[in-house]
A and B are shown apart, each in its own frame.
Chain A
Amino acid sequence: MYTEKVMDHFSNPRNVGEIENPNGVGEVGNASCGDIMKIYLKVEDNIIKDVKFKTFGCGAAIATSSMVTELAIGKTIDEALVLTNQAVAEALDGLPPAKMHCSNLAADALHEAIKDYKAKNS
């Protein structure tokens, strides 16, 4: 059902946890669908220095959260904003069709965190 990359990121998720005094926090999803993702950001000089996540959800939800943190670290804010859910899914060599809606929200969570960062720094 899941690709090897999904299973790798699910069983060894990267960057799990919270950041103390983050510059931005974003949360998407809801309990009724069974997926909630929360992303914490540390931004310095417009560059994402650190990303951490917490996720309630299925294997795909945890794997996409882990993948989006890897893709985002080191990117500028503008580069991170063009990252899509589709790109996260592709970086995991794809997701089962049923998982494309509820469990593929990690880029949205990242964008919410960036929005929060921008709001705090404008």
Chain B
Amino acid sequence: MKQIYLDNNATTPVKPEVLEAMLPFYREQFGNPSSVHWAGRMVSGAIEKAREQVAGLLNCSPAEIIFVSCGSEGDNFAIKGTAEALRHKGNHIITTSVEHPAVLETCEYLEKNGFEVTYLPVDADGMLNLTELESAITDKTILISVMWANNETGNLFPIHEIGEIARRHKVRFHTDAVQAIGKVPVDVGKAQVDMLVLSGHKIGGPKGVGAVYLRRGTRMTRFMHGGHQERNRRAGTHNVAGIVGLGVACELAAINQQKDYAYVRCLRDKLEQGILSTVPDVKLNGHPDPDLRLPNTLNVSFNYIEGESLLLFFDMKGIAASSGSACTSGSLEPSHVMSAMGVDIVLAHSSIRFSFGPDNTEEEVDYILAELPPIVQRLRDMSPLYQRADATPLHCDECLMVHRAS
């Protein structure tokens, strides 16, 4: 059976060059880079080379890069480390209602510890109102945290404009750029961000490694205690092979981003136009202007069908995608991003995300466009909501979670 992987926002395959570069660090170059002897010396250079490769992609100084274990750790460090370091200045944080849980749940944790958090709403296209953002700033605001690109819709937030607002008000600015890195140009200097988080496995690197860009002079309270690594900013023996892999993945991203994602964009646009023009009762989730979304992401709701059943039928045809339906999130609630955008509850359960990578082909898009309409029709024929005359029942006392979108 064909295997078509369209879930690159979840994770990506490790690139062959990345794996090749990593392998020696599991074999002969096994040393701890903190050791003084030959075994340690053999690997310490590799960490610094990787730091330069990451810095090269972001256009910053290598000294401003801190290696961490994943994007979630990076977000936790950036937000909690700022909250603690700047507590004497204020207790207010501004973020958005569509952030990754690594940001949202960290903010909720801080709320229990005396911080106040403003969760900015988004409009029906999933976009922020910058006037609203600016007027949310108070003299107690110590941090603005806005993702570079949304993982579900692919929406790109106006990071440069937000950076300017933050700088004007002298508020620190953090961005979770996990989804943007490698897909669109990311320059921390131009964007005026103070902290940025990226993850290895989203860009053809290994899982279990990420990096934080911390602008020189940014005061932080350390997050992981127990060693002097990363200039006392992050304790723990270096994940040498992982860091080497991340470095190579960043170097490849810097070389290939423009070419790869122009190609990916063509594939995404073809699938998007193909679905919207052939399948009735479909809603695009995210900004209608494809320039304002990541070039690789397409999120659509197939009305009257629950997302998981659609994913399972896709899976039988070898197509791997993902869904914002409650059934695939492990909770009873559909995606918080769809809720924040005011997407109707049935449509939220019906949302499917296709996220492309440079390994996908046009032939795969043609295959999906051929297989998809009959699957959708089959499930619609099975659905009591399809061609229904009376109103859809919406309430469940047991779940206590009706987010009837306005």
Choice from B307, B312, B332, B346 contacting A31 with Cβ under 8 Å: B346
Q: For the complex, what is the distance from the CA of A38 to the CA of B390, rounded to whole Å?
A: 13
Is B326 close to A, CB under 8 A? yes
Q: For the complex, what is the distance from the CA of A35 to the CA of B392, rounded to whole Å?
A: 11
Q: For the complex, what is the distance from the CA of A56 to the CA of B316, rounded to whole Å?
A: 19
Instruction: Report yes or no: A33 in contact with B396, Cβ–Cβ below 8 A.
Output: yes
Which secondary structure dominates chain B's binding surface?
loop
What is the size, in residues, of chain B's interface with A at 8 Å between Cβ atoms?
Answer: 35
Is A24 close to B, CB under 8 A? no
What is the size, in residues, of chain A's interface with B at 8 Å between Cβ atoms?
Answer: 31
Instruction: Report yes or no: A31 in contact with B349, Cβ–Cβ below 8 A.
Output: yes
Choice from B306, B381, B393, B394 contacting A57 with Cβ under 8 Å: B306
Instruction: Report yes or no: B401 in contact with A32, Cβ–Cβ below 8 A.
Output: yes
Q: Closest residue of chain A to B334, judged by CB?
A: A34
Choice from B309, B316, B328, B394 contacting A32 with Cβ under 8 Å: B394
Q: Mark B360-396, 1 if CB is under 8 A from A, else 0.
A: 0000000000000000000001111100000011111
Q: Closest residue of chain B to A6, judged by CB?
A: B312
Instruction: Report yes or no: A58 in contact with B384, Cβ–Cβ below 8 A.
Output: no
Instruction: Report yes or no: B305 in contact with A56, Cβ–Cβ below 8 A.
Output: yes
CB distance from B390 to the nearest CB of A (A): 10
- Residues of A near B327 (CB, < 8 A) are 34, 57-60, 99, 102-103
Instruction: Report yes or no: A58 in contact with B325, Cβ–Cβ below 8 A.
Output: yes
Is B403 close to A, CB under 8 A? yes
Q: For the complex, what is the distance from the CA of A61 to the CA of B206, rounded to whole Å?
A: 36
Is A85 close to B, CB under 8 A? no
Choice from B316, B346, B393 contacting A27 with Cβ under 8 Å: B393
Is B398 close to A, CB under 8 A? yes
Q: For the complex, what is the distance from the CA of A31 to the CA of B385, rounded to whole Å?
A: 9
B-contacting 9-mer, from A8-16, A73-81, A86-94: A8-16
Is B217 close to A, CB under 8 A? no
Is B194 close to A, CB under 8 A? no
Instruction: Report yes or no: A36 in contact with B384, Cβ–Cβ below 8 A.
Output: yes
CB distance from A111 to the nearest CB of B (A): 16
Most interface-central of B346, B349, B382, B383 (chain A CB within 10 A)? B382
Is A120 close to B, CB under 8 A? no
Instruction: Report yes or no: A59 in contact with B398, Cβ–Cβ below 8 A.
Output: no
Instruction: Report yes or no: B382 in contact with A30, Cβ–Cβ below 8 A.
Output: no
Q: For the complex, what is the distance from the CA of A54 to the CA of B313, rounded to whole Å?
A: 17
Choice from B345, B382, B403 contacting A62 with Cβ under 8 Å: B382
Instruction: Report yes or no: A30 in contact with B394, Cβ–Cβ below 8 A.
Output: yes
Is A55 close to B, CB under 8 A? yes
CB distance from B157 to the nearest CB of A (A): 29
Most interface-central of B349, B401, B402 (chain A CB within 10 A)? B349
Q: For the complex, what is the distance from the CA of A50 to the CA of B100, rounded to whole Å?
A: 48
- Residues of A near B306 (CB, < 8 A) are 34-35, 56-58, 61
Instruction: Report yes or no: A31 in contact with B393, Cβ–Cβ below 8 A.
Output: yes
- Residues of A near B330 (CB, < 8 A) are 98
Q: For the complex, what is the distance from the CA of A34 to the CA of B382, rounded to whole Å?
A: 14
- Residues of A near B384 (CB, < 8 A) are 27, 36-38, 54-56
Q: Mark A15-34, 1 if CB is under 8 A from B, else 0.
A: 01100000000010111111
Q: For the complex, what is the distance from the CA of A102 to the CA of B327, rounded to whole Å?
A: 9
CB distance from A57 to the nearest CB of B (A): 5
Q: For the complex, what is the distance from the CA of A56 to the CA of B325, rounded to whole Å?
A: 12
Instruction: Report yes or no: B403 in contact with A32, Cβ–Cβ below 8 A.
Output: yes
Instruction: Report yes or no: A56 in contact with B385, Cβ–Cβ below 8 A.
Output: yes
Is B1 close to A, CB under 8 A? no
Q: For the complex, what is the distance from the CA of A98 to the CA of B327, rounded to whole Å?
A: 8
Most interface-central of A38, A62, A99, A101 (chain B CB within 10 A)? A62
- Residues of A near B395 (CB, < 8 A) are 30, 32
CB distance from A51 to the nearest CB of B (A): 15
Closest 9 CB pairs of A and B: A58-B308, A58-B327, A54-B384, A38-B384, A34-B349, A56-B383, A30-B393, A32-B402, A30-B396
Known A10-B312, A55-B383; further 5 A-B contacts with Cβ < 8 A: A17-B381, A31-B346, A32-B402, A34-B326, A103-B327
**A: which residues have CB within 8 A of B?**
7, 10-11, 13, 16-17, 27, 29-38, 54-62, 98-99, 101-103
